């Protein structure tokens, strides 16, 4: 355990104390007690920048399950540090915001903060673990704590639905990722990410390579809400707004991005990775921005916007991975996409976090988030309005904010796909810039909708539950900090480039650099009159046009929603699997014991006859048989006739007597085959059993007439088959004897060692006395059980 | 003789199975009785039915019947007797409480299964 390990689990440890704060310091909002921790962690992680800037990597290992190669290995490199800073930094702001957002009188703050701290630990663990199993453990903890946070207002039906949906989808991906981890372990023999990366060149042709890649991608896509798994994210908006801002815009949904970035050095040697990551990303980008325009809920717009921006980062990571296939790295020509991905990751966290907080403020101060009821808030909430301008303009990619810079670089990355000539990118690669441009137009439209429908236009006081007014300063601090970061990163992007972006790129694209070299990251406002600039101008022009003509083309959405409703597909999948399994169970579990016996007997017959045939096990040998005598035939006949006649007996009394006849002929067999003790026991026991049967018969409910057993062909066939299988096995077993019996020992030693002459009795009480002991137990238990059944008469009414 | 016994045992098992698939509880228990008879005879037959003296040393014979399966069967007889009697009393109590011995009517209800 090092300080680093302690830093990761410190939120978990603090969570243990939360109930104490909540219980004994009711006057103070519980959030204040938490706030110092993420700030301290943020400062703690900041100091690592000086190390990672020079390409240093800090590793610490604490043993967990050494015998399986699972250690709590922590590794701080550029990528992990970037995420750790995001998690702790935005975490601090979100805690501060939640202090003002959640009322200490009406909310259960203890559970909220425990879940939030749980999530913080989980997320730090995901991004800093070097061991895949540890990463997976933290990964599932993020799903779990997110589930708890979405369902925080558990009395609402929509919250429970959203929590369940996100749980099902993300856990599906998590389990698939576990499969991928195990496949990687089979190929490389280690769970350590840095060791796996070293072997990535060797495993690329392994037969399990593609399955492992697909497993990992499913995990990453479900977590990061990529098409078509994005459907859980809009429903997760039922969570309290601080949660949406933290989990569903800045951190958790980027866990999938993190995973893709982390695994790029392992999997990107194959073109399939590039196509899948970039392809799914670009589709998600388009679909998210397209769907966001039609939303009427502020958080709904932001949710689809998050989906879309995550798709953008994902596609950039996919395109950026192609740089690994170009050995010459004289300029940053092919790596610009990766730069853009990392840069936009930071930007998105800043402006999306602030926008969620703005949406929360509007909800908090007006009582609704529906843009059809909002409008004209500009005059009531000037500060919030300013924050919203900064956030939405940055999201739309308008200068001078940081979103503009990353959008330009995004276009650059996409346009440079046209220059690539690997993995068929020269054939279909042109689609990337085209779709990217169209999606950006929609991004522009929904950003404008978000801003102007809320803050400009006519104020409708009668539709609002509360009178709008500016938010208290406490609620505004966090979004103000984030919005100032948007501006700072907009004007001075290069404070990030050497400290944060370049080290992170080194983690994503290792091996491209020679010793001492660093990625040359320079972000400028002005490139000159390049194609990206014209694309941006086009986006703004067409976006403005479409924004003003929206009522004319909004019918487009009517067609799409009906036809491509993924939510409906999900719901019917869940419902069909439930009814399907219910019906399936209902068919074969019908509650009748006869049916179950039919299953059991048929399976018995099937498995034995098939294995007799398959193993060629049937042997028939008559050399070892004893002679048949005439009285034995008579007994056999009696027995066979008696047992078959039972089946035809009309009265049950006849059946009982015939069973007795079979029992006594068994006793006769024991006499014939030289077993005097058996014959004695059999006679006595058969007598007592028949007496018991008669007792039972005597107490039967009186019926008017007794009926013969009804005939069923299936029953007959099954019983004949069972009898035949037993006969065959008996014949086969008798005909193949592999060794002599051990009974000669008993014959020789019964008198010498055990001082008895009756061998059977000596075996029962001396050589194998334990059998007898427990057989006595069985009889004792049966007797006690019978006694209890007769004596204890607890009916439902008398109970308790 | 062993061949003949194999077929006899097959018949016993056949009747037992048929009875166990029936609807009446009493017939099912009769079926289990037949099944245990079949199993005991199978044990005896599989050990070989060679002629020899009963396994008593006082007989002074050259060869004895195998004593080990006999001991096993004796144990099995007693155990199956214990189980059968338990089942019979269970059936008797079921008649008393539920008033039927038809297995099709002895089912959990919708809310109680």
- ipTM of the complex, rounded to two decimals: 0.93
- Region A641-653: what's the mean pLDDT? 87
Residue of B nearest to A707 (CA): B24
Whether residues A646 and B19 touch (CB distance < 8 A) is answered with yes
| CA–CA dist A334, A597 (Å, integer) | 69
Tell me which residue of A136, A127, A122 sits closest to A174, measured CA to CA.
Answer: A136
- Region A125-144: what's the mean pLDDT? 92
More confident position, A728 or A365: A728
Q: Which of residues 666-725 of A touch B (CB under 8 A)?
A: 666, 669-670, 673-678, 681-682, 685, 688-689, 692-693, 695-697, 699-701, 709-710, 712, 715-716, 718-720, 722-724
Q: Which of residues 306-345 of A touch B (CB under 8 A)?
A: none
| CA–CA dist A335, A356 (Å, integer) | 31
| CA–CA dist B26, A13 (Å, integer) | 64
The answer to which of A708-717, A750-759, B22-31 has the lowest mean pLDDT is A708-717
Tell me, yes or no, if the pTM score tops 0.80.
yes
Q: pLDDT-based confidence at A295, cuts 50/70/90?
A: confident
Q: How far is the alpha carbon of A660 from chain B, nearest alpha carbon, in Å?
A: 10
- Considering only CB atoms, B93 lies closest to which of A677, A730, A789, namely A789
Q: Please name the residues in contact with A196: beta carbons below 8 A apart, sequence gap of 6 or more.
A: A132, A184, A188, A190, A266
Tell whether the model's pLDDT for residue A142 goes beyond 80. Answer: yes
Q: How far is the alpha carbon of A154 from chain B, nearest alpha carbon, in Å?
A: 28
Whether residues B19 and A647 touch (CB distance < 8 A) is answered with yes
Whether residues A743 and B68 touch (CB distance < 8 A) is answered with yes
pLDDT at residue A687, as a whole number: 94
Residue of A nearest to B98 (CA): A701
Is A653's Cβ below 8 Å from some Cβ in B?
no
Tell whether the model's pLDDT for residue A730 goes beyond 70. Answer: yes
- Considering only CB atoms, B70 lies closest to which of A678, A709, A734, namely A678
Range among A30-34, A671-675, B9-13 with highest mean pLDDT value:
B9-13
pLDDT at residue A329, as a whole number: 54
Q: pLDDT-based confidence at A124, cuts 50/70/90?
A: very high
Q: pLDDT-based confidence at B82, cuts 50/70/90?
A: very high
- Looking up tokens 């369902």, which residue turns up? A151
Q: How far is the alpha carbon of B20 from chain A, nearest alpha carbon, in Å?
A: 8
pLDDT at residue A321, as a whole number: 83
- Considering only CB atoms, B3 lies closest to which of A622, A676, A682, namely A622
More confident position, A467 or A665: A665
Tell whether the model's pLDDT for residue A192 goes beyond 60. Answer: yes
Here the contacts of A737-744 (C-beta below 8 Å, separation 24 or greater) are A737/A624, A741/B47, A741/B48, A741/B66, A741/B68, A742/B68, A743/B66, A743/B67, A743/B68
Tell me which residue of A449, A398, A499 sits closest to A49, measured CA to CA.
Answer: A499
pLDDT at residue A798, as a whole number: 46
A173 in Cβ contact with A181 (< 8 Å): no
Is A747's Cβ below 8 Å from some Cβ in B?
yes
A623 sits in which H/E element: none
- Chains A, B: CB contacts within 8 A come to 272
| Domain residue ranges of chain A, discontinuous segments joined by + | 154-559, 593-743, 744-800
- Considering only CB atoms, A778 lies closest to which of B7, B53, B79, namely B79
The DSSP 8-state label assigned to residue A463 in this structure reads: G
pLDDT at residue B109, as a whole number: 52
The answer to which of A99-103, A181-185, A325-329, A473-477 has the lowest mean pLDDT is A325-329
- Looking up tokens 């990964």, which residue turns up? A139
Whether residues B85 and A710 touch (CB distance < 8 A) is answered with no
Q: pLDDT-based confidence at A528, cuts 50/70/90?
A: low
| CA–CA dist A100, A471 (Å, integer) | 10
- Region A285-314: what's the mean pLDDT? 89
What six digits make up the tokens of A62? Answer: 């604490």
- Considering only CB atoms, B57 lies closest to which of A643, A759, A772, namely A759
- Region A437-449: what's the mean pLDDT? 90
Residue of A nearest to B108 (CA): A591
Q: How far is the alpha carbon of B11 from chain A, nearest alpha carbon, in Å?
A: 6
Tell whether the model's pLDDT for residue A156 goes beyond 80. Answer: yes
Q: pLDDT-based confidence at A526, cuts 50/70/90?
A: low
Rg (CA), chain A: 38
| CA–CA dist A289, A301 (Å, integer) | 9
| CA–CA dist B27, A703 (Å, integer) | 16
| Percent share of chain A, pLDDT over 90 | 32
The SS3 of residue B33 is helix
More confident position, A514 or A473: A473
| CA–CA dist A149, A248 (Å, integer) | 11
Chain A residue numbers with beta carbons less than 8 Å from the beta carbon of B103 are: 592-594
Q: pLDDT-based confidence at A403, cuts 50/70/90?
A: confident
Across chain A, what does the average pLDDT equal?
Answer: 86
Whether residues A719 and B67 touch (CB distance < 8 A) is answered with no
pLDDT at residue A696, as a whole number: 80
Q: What is the pLDDT of residues A15-42, one digit of tens each?
A: 998 888 888 888 888 888 889 999 999 9
Whether residues B71 and A764 touch (CB distance < 8 A) is answered with yes
Q: How far is the alpha carbon of B5 from chain A, nearest alpha carbon, in Å?
A: 8
């Amino acid at each position: 355990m090092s300080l680093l390990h302690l830093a990761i689990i410190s939120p978990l440890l603090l969570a243990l104390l939360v109930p104490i704060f909540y219980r004994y310091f009711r006057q103070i909002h519980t959030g204040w007690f938490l706030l110092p921790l993420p700030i301290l962690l943020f400062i703690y992680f900041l100091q690592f920048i000086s190390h990672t800037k020079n390409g240093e990597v800090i590793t610490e290992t604490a043993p967990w399950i050494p015998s399986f190669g699972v250690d709590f290995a922590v590794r701080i490199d550029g990528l992990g540090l970037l995420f750790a800073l995001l998690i702790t930094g935005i975490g601090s702001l979100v805690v501060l915001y939640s202090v003002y957002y959640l009322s200490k009188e009406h909310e259960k703050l203890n559970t909220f903060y425990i879940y939030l701290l749980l999530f913080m630990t989980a997320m730090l663990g995901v991004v800093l673990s070097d061991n895949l199993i540890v990463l997976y453990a933290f990964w599932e903890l993020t799903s779990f704590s997110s589930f708890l946070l979405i369902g925080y207002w558990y009395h609402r039906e929509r919250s429970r639905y959203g929590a369940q949906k996100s749980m099902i989808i993300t856990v599906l991906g998590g389990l698939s990722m576990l499969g991928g981890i195990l496949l990687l372990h089979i190929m490389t023999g280690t769970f350590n990410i840095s060791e796996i990366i070293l072997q990535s060149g060797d495993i690329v042709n392994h037969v399990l390579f593609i399955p492992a890649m697909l497993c990992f991608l499913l995990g990453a896509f479900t977590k990061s809400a990529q098409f078509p798994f994005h459907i859980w994210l809009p429903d997760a908006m039922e969570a309290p707004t601080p949660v949406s801002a933290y989990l569903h815009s800045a951190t958790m949904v980027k866990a999938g991005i993190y995973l893709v970035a982390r695994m790029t050095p392992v999997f990107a040697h194959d073109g399939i990775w590039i196509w899948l990551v970039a392809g799914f990303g670009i589709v998600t980008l388009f679909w998210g921005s397209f769907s966001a325009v039609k939303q009427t809920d502020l958080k709904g717009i932001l949710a689809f916007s998050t989906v879309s921006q995550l798709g953008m980062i994902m596609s950039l990571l996919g395109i950026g991975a192609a740089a690994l296939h170009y050995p010459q790295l004289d300029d940053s020509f092919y790596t610009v996409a990766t730069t853009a991905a990392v840069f936009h990751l930071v930007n998105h966290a800043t402006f999306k976090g602030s926008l969620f907080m703005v949406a929360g403020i509007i909800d908090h101060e007006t009582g609704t988030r529906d843009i059809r009821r909002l409008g004209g808030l500009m005059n009531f909430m000037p500060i919030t309005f300013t924050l919203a301008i900064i956030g939405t303009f940055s999201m739309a990619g308008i200068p001078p904010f940081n979103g503009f810079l990353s959008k330009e670089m995004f276009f650059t990355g996409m346009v440079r796909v046209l220059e690539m000539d690997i993995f068929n990118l020269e054939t279909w690669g042109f689609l990337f810039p085209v779709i990217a441009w169209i999606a950006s137009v929609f991004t522009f439209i929904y950003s404008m909708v978000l801003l102007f429908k809320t803050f400009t236009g006519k104020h409708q006081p009668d539709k609002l539950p509360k009178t709008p007014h500016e938010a208290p300063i406490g609620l505004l601090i966090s979004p103000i900090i984030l919005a100032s970061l948007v501006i700072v990163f907009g004007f001075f992007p290069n404070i990030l480039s050497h400290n944060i972006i370049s080290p992170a790129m080194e983690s994503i694209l290792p091996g491209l650099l020679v010793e001492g070299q660093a990625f040359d990251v320079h972000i400028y406002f002005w490139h000159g009159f390049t194609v990206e600039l014209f694309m941006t101008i086009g986006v703004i022009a067409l976006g403005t046009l479409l924004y003003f003509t929206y009522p004319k083309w909004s019918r487009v959405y009517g067609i799409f929603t009906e036809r491509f409703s993924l939510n409906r597909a999900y719901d019917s999948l869940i419902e069909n699997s439930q009814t399907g399994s219910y019906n399936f169970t209902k068919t074969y579990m019908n509650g009748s014991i006869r049916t179950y016996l039919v299953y059991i007997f048929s399976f018995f017959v099937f498995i034995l006859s098939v294995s007799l045939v398959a193993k060629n096990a049937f042997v028939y040998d008559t050399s070892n048989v004893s002679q048949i005598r005439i009285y034995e035939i008579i007994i056999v006949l009696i027995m066979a006739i008696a047992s078959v006649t039972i089946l035809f007996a009309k009265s049950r009394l006849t059946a009982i007597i015939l069973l007795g006849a079979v029992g006594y002929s068994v006793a006769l067999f024991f006499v014939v085959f030289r077993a005097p003790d058996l014959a004695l026991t059999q006679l006595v026991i058969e007598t007592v059993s028949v007496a018991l049967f008669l007792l039972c018969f005597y107490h039967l409910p009186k019926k008017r007439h007794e009926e013969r057993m009804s005939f069923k062909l299936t029953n007959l066939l099954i019983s004949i088959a069972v009898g035949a299988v037993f006969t065959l096995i008996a014949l086969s077993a008798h005909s193949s004897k592999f060794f002599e019996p051990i009974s000669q020992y008993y014959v020789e030693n019964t008198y010498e060692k055990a001082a008895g002459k009756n061998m059977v009795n000596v075996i029962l009480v001396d050589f194998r006395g334990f059998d007898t002991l427990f057989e006595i137990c069985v009889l004792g238990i049966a007797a006690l059980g019978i006694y209890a059944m007769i004596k204890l008469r607890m009916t439902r009414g008398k109970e308790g | 003789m062993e061949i003949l016994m194999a077929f006899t045992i097959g018949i016993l098992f056949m009747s037992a199975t048929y009875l166990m698939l029936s609807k009446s509880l009493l017939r099912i228990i009769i079926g289990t009785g037949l099944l245990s008879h079949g199993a005991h005879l199978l044990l005896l037959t599989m050990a070989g039915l060679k002629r020899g003296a009963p396994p008593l040393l006082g007989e002074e014979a050259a060869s004895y019947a195998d004593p080990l399966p006999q001991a096993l069967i004796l144990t099995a007889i007693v155990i199956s007797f214990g189980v059968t009697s338990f089942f019979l009393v269970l059936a008797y109590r079921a008649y008393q409480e539920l008033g039927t011995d038809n297995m099709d009517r002895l089912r959990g209800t919708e809310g109680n299964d």
